[in-house]
Structure 1
Amino acid sequence: MKVLTGLDVLVNDKALQKSFKGNVALLCHNASVDAKFTHAALKFKEIFGNRFIKLFGPQHGFATDVQDNMIETDHSIHPYFKIPVYSLYSETRIPTDEMLEGIDHLFVDLQDVGCRIYTYIYTLTLMLEKCSNKEIEVCVLDRPNPINGIDVEGNVLDLKYRSFVGRHPMPFRHAMTMGEVGLMHQKFWAKEQANYRVIKMEHWSRNMYFSDTKLPWLLPSPNLPRAESTLTFPATVLFEGTLLSEGRGTTQSLEIVGHSKIEPFSFYENHLKSVVQKSKLKGFVLRPVTFLPTFQKQANKVCGGVQVHITNRAEYRPWRLGQLLLREFYHYLGKDFEWKKPPYEYNYTQHPIDIINGTDKLRFWVENNDALDVLDSFEDLKNYNLQLREIKIY
């Protein structure tokens, strides 16, 4: 049965629509569509008319057209809707009093990818914190976690490495929906409570991947054009902390990793193949590839590396695979391997890889060439799993 998102539930329920009195605003992006591919803003104009008074956009913008980190989006007046579009990835990440003026209900309809480093969940929690002393209801139109709501993986963020790609003590793969992130924030992380509501999905279950939902996939950020990319993302996004390419500037972004100093077949056949076999990691195949990034890291240089193909989602552990690949690329490239230098997400002092990992211990693990089973010591998930059980709504 096809999943109905929170937006679909709202669109189909006239009584629910009438329960929202006063003015409404919408935080959304390119992927905010209903089951018929109609954008949420168009449905809000139809449902709420002149009471629909403001739009907000997250990182990458309302139109989801901005490629990179630390590239901000301007505020504007939308040429069709004739209402303000406020960017929450601009001179501010937090909505100002002026932006929130006149709003009674602020809806959030964003497609998350289930990984701690993806910033939309922090745009939500910053909004909740800002609205905690205001008479504004924050209402999430819930959407699927595309890599399922069961599997939790990776280290919990060390708050010494707190940033806009990691604000809260959660593991790398968090197993929550956007609505549940808000509930977790309200119950365990917030100093003050906001007026918060989740419009739940219908027919979604925690074991679902995005392909199981029968929903249309639209890219939630410019380099995730395929739902399959969300499964490779928790592995390949780690390479944002290096000067290797993770495929940005190609048609397979965040599914491939490589460097201009690597010949892919010799790297794979003579080195990586045996390492992967000994690791006993399963559920994927690494395929030697050659690619040419047209922008960002390694731009216009022919790169050799690997593409990650998922063969068994239940066995696949992307965080472990990503750490393994980091370790092997580091030692194979030697002096040609470089960690990315600051700044990263407006942090001008700490290593970008440490910000991404939420700890410096994993960088040392890579550099020391430690055994794969040492990663087990980084996954202290007992407390987080107890918290997760308390806020699950599906």
Structure 2
Amino acid sequence: MKRWLLLLALTCAWPAVARVPDPAALQRIAGIVQDEIAAGHLPGAVVQIGGENGVYYRAAYGEREVRPEHLPMTPDTIFDLASLTKVVATTTAIMQLSERGRLDLDAPVARYWPAFAANGKAPIRVRDLLTHYSGLPADLDLSRPWKGRSAALERIIAVRPTDPPGERYRYSDINFEVLGELVERVSGEPLERYCQAHVFAPLGMRDSGFLPAPSPRIAPTAHGRQGVVHDPTAWRMGGVAGHAGGFSSADDLARFARMLLAGGSLDGVRVLKSASVEAMTLPQSPSGQARLRGLGWDIAAPFASDRDTLAPVGAYGHTGFTGTSLWIDPVARLYVILLSNRVHPDDGGDAGPLRDRVAEAVGAALGPLTDADIASARPALARYAAARQVVSSGLDVLAEDGFAPLRGLRVGLITNQTGIDRKGRRNIDLLREAPGVKLVALFSPEHGLYGKLDEKVASGAEPSTGLPVYSLYGETRRPSDAMLAGVDALVFDIQDAGARFYTYGTTLAYAMEAAARKGIPIWVLDRPDPIGGAQVQGPMLDAGRTSFTGYWPIPVRPGMTLGELAGFYNQEAAIHADLHVVTMRGYSRRDWFDDTGLAWVNPSPNLRSLGQTALYPGVGMIEGANISVGRGTDSPFEQVGAPWIDGRELARYLATRRIAGASFSAVTFTPDSGPYHGQACRGVRISVSDRDALDSPALGVELAAALHRLYPDRFRLDETLGGIGSATVVASIRAGADPRAIAAGWQGELEAFQARRARFLLY
């Protein structure tokens, strides 16, 4: 095993035994701080080191304020945190809103702040801001006078990116100024009020917040400024911003650090889910980028005396311009807090040497990472590898083999925009360049080769290659003999959505039928079930209701990849194609798409995030009725409405149902396409609070039952039959049966299906 992987496993293993630093070795810190004060690098500092077993070191040195009467620094001094605000306040708030389904980290920022999209910023995602891969400049222009939050927002809107998102790391205050604005727009509370109510007060952080009340305990910054933010942009914004403006003490930050070490809770109060802590503190940088960033946090080697030989995975932390820093080492289970006002009194000073020397002292006090430490990591490594390792798609696997099985063949490729490898290269280009392989034709499914069309698709030619593109969602939905003329083999490479009525699975089955008819082999390059392959949910499709949106009697959520479905269809439907499935490497059935390390590409125009895809098997069940599911809005499948619905009434009723993993709020939206185009639709917004607990098809039945109960004369229940797929379920809803009883009724059919399904599972 590689040493850095073992360290990574230790990082994820919350129950690891804490390593207590040698108290005598920590005493070096006093001399180090006094040296730095004597060198004029800072007037004073507070150092606190602790862990799960208590505080190992806590001391104050030097002066809080430089003046004739020598006001000493004390351990309870309150400091201007500067950029520590980014992680202690803003990142925590953003992750909480994400957990509650209010904010999608992979959504464009413009979904929540439409004006932000101006001047080329539309592609920037929330995640890009958190990792500093947005492409935005370092800060707003301060060369001309301006003041006020509204003025700052105007300047943010006017900013142009200097690089496309994901291509270049640039630490940017603008990123977190935008995130601070998102907290208010999404939560409805100003950043300072939100953080006080949801972060600082629950954790008992009594000295923490924005705009502190006057107190002699506050360390002044440049030119005697006390209790007023030092950062010039935050000052112009009124003292509250996502990137700076927070104040806190060492004891308060210690409580915050202990919460993170404990996986998101402290003293019985949970502030974050453990999965959020992991996402914040493990590498989240774009694939191929050397600079490692978590969500908000920077990443470094653990605090060990041999840390210079270790990969920068283990400890995480952040620094602040005023001379503050917080670093947390989950390997040793400790935190290191260093707070200074190095900018006092004249905006000079340098806390960098102090940080480096204290880190060295802590490492010496801990000693090197031992073989016993590494050995204790092995069980955690196995868990980590199963849950988090990067997956190789079928395309990646076949490309690594040089496309050897296809050599000497004229290939027809069935694909769309999702057919890319881990480096973002198109399968079209990889096949054209593969030695001995001749790509002669392309076939596109619903939504076309580029996944942008919500209408019938015409055949044509691929612009960069000139290859013919035969539409399988136009005049025909099956490959014809004419299309297959001169084709020796078919290759299918498309990302599925995990729901029965998503048509890519039917396109695959039709292609298999055509290949069998022509006597040519077909290769399926497998890709993940994006919503996980461990859950099998929903009613079975009635045997007599097969169609393009339901090729074979299977449940709404079959819990199978397209490669597995291909094997199932080949046997169950007696297709008898010469089928070859190129399986993924590193994939687990429990994986959601964001566990795989693969890049998300919208599989169709109205599935723009994993959150929407999680809701799709449920909300999609009732889409055929006279309602809007948000197509033609920024949040398709996350809202349901119609002009005749009372959103508050529907939200209240659904809340009484206590549906696991979902919550509801009243909403009004106006779709620009689909049913009720241009009309105000009232209804509910659906937030996923726990995706693993959510049974999305059962949610679909709950929605149908609620609409039928509340609006029996308006809601056209019969029109849901195509999506639900079961006449028995629709009849039960009409009869007023409890949705939980309806869901219980299909469990027997699901068990029988799972017994048949088991033979075809590949992972």
- TM-score over 0.5 for the alignment? yes
| TM alignment of 1:40-119, pairs within 5 A | 40-47=427-434, 51-67=438-454, 71-119=455-503
Q: Secondary structure at the match of 2:713?
A: helix
Matched, 1:300 2:669: no
**8 A Cα contact 2:408 2:436, kept in partner:** no
Aligned residue number for residue 409 of structure 2: 22
Amino acid at match of 2:612: S
Amino acid at match of 1:78: E
Aligned residue number for residue 185 of structure 1: 569
The alpha-carbon deviation at position 18 of structure 1 amounts to 5.8
**8 A Cα contact 1:235 1:319, kept in partner:** yes
Of residues 80-89 and 309-318 in structure 1, the stretch that sits farther from structure 2 once superposed is: 309-318
Amino acid at match of 2:626: L
| TM alignment of 1:240-259, pairs within 5 A | 240-259=623-642
Distance in 1 (CA, whole Å) between partners of 2:627 and 2:405 is 52
Matched, 1:261 2:652: no
Unmatched tracts of structure 2, length 5 or more: 1-388
Matched, 1:377 2:377: no
Of residues 225-234 and 327-336 in structure 1, the stretch that sits farther from structure 2 once superposed is: 327-336
The alpha-carbon deviation at position 49 of structure 1 amounts to 7.7
Amino acid at match of 1:378: W
Aligned residue number for residue 393 of structure 2: 5
Distance in 2 (CA, whole Å) between partners of 1:258 and 1:136 is 47
Post-superposition CA distance 1:79-107 (Å, at most 9, x none)? 22111100111221111111111112211
> Taking structure 1 as reference, are residues 19 and 272 closer, same or farther at Cα in structure 2, changes over 3 Å only?
closer
Aligned equivalent of 2:655, options 252, 255, 273: 273
Post-superposition CA distance 1:10-61 (Å, at most 9, x none)? 22222x4365322111100111111122222122222258711100001111
**8 A Cα contact 1:159 1:358, kept in partner:** no
Distance in 1 (CA, whole Å) between partners of 2:436 and 2:708 is 56
Distance in 2 (CA, whole Å) between partners of 1:50 and 1:17 is 9
Aligned equivalent of 1:231, options 584, 597, 614: 614
Of residues 109-118 and 282-291 in structure 1, the stretch that sits farther from structure 2 once superposed is: 282-291
> Taking structure 1 as reference, are residues 18 and 173 closer, same or farther at Cα in structure 2, changes over 3 Å only?
closer
Amino acid at match of 1:4: S
**8 A Cα contact 2:622 2:724, kept in partner:** no
The alpha-carbon deviation at position 353 of structure 1 amounts to 2.1
User: Which of structures 1 and 2 has the larger relative contact order (alpha carbons within 8 angstroms, sep 6+)?
Assistant: 1
Matched, 1:222 2:605: yes
Q: Secondary structure at the match of 2:482?
A: helix
Aligned equivalent of 1:356, options 705, 711, 723: 723
| Bigger Rg, structure 1 or 2 | 2
Distance in 2 (CA, whole Å) between partners of 1:48 and 1:253 is 42
Amino acid at match of 1:268: A
Distance in 2 (CA, whole Å) between partners of 1:123 and 1:268 is 37
Distance in 2 (CA, whole Å) between partners of 1:41 and 1:78 is 10
Aligned residue number for residue 157 of structure 1: 541
Of residues 100-109 and 173-182 in structure 1, the stretch that sits farther from structure 2 once superposed is: 100-109
**8 A Cα contact 1:161 1:354, kept in partner:** no
Distance in 2 (CA, whole Å) between partners of 1:100 and 1:19 is 16
**8 A Cα contact 2:407 2:435, kept in partner:** no
Q: Secondary structure at the match of 2:441?
A: strand
**8 A Cα contact 2:729 2:742, kept in partner:** no
Q: Secondary structure at the match of 2:500?
A: coil
Number of aligned pairs?
373
The percent of aligned pairs where both chains have the same amino acid is 31
Distance in 2 (CA, whole Å) between partners of 1:374 and 1:79 is 50
**8 A Cα contact 2:431 2:438, kept in partner:** no
**8 A Cα contact 1:138 1:194, kept in partner:** yes
Distance in 1 (CA, whole Å) between partners of 2:650 and 2:471 is 43
**8 A Cα contact 1:158 1:358, kept in partner:** yes
**8 A Cα contact 1:29 1:62, kept in partner:** yes
The alpha-carbon deviation at position 285 of structure 1 amounts to 1.6
Matched, 1:386 2:755: yes
Aligned residue number for residue 285 of structure 1: 663
Amino acid at match of 1:283: G
The alpha-carbon deviation at position 255 of structure 1 amounts to 1.4
Amino acid at match of 1:302: A
Of residues 22-31 and 284-293 in structure 1, the stretch that sits farther from structure 2 once superposed is: 284-293
The alpha-carbon deviation at position 333 of structure 1 amounts to 2.4
Amino acid at match of 2:391: V
Aligned residue number for residue 343 of structure 1: none
Aligned residue number for residue 705 of structure 2: 327
Distance in 2 (CA, whole Å) between partners of 1:25 and 1:189 is 23
Aligned residue number for residue 336 of structure 1: 714
Unmatched tracts of structure 1, length 5 or more: 340-350
Aligned residue number for residue 201 of structure 1: 584
Distance in 1 (CA, whole Å) between partners of 2:435 and 2:681 is 51
Q: Secondary structure at the match of 1:97?
A: coil
Post-superposition CA distance 1:153-191 (Å, at most 9, x none)? 11211121111111212111001101011100122222x
Distance in 2 (CA, whole Å) between partners of 1:313 and 1:254 is 15
Matched, 1:31 2:398: no
Amino acid at match of 1:292: T
Distance in 1 (CA, whole Å) between partners of 2:596 and 2:612 is 16
TM-score w.r.t. the length of structure 1 is: 0.90
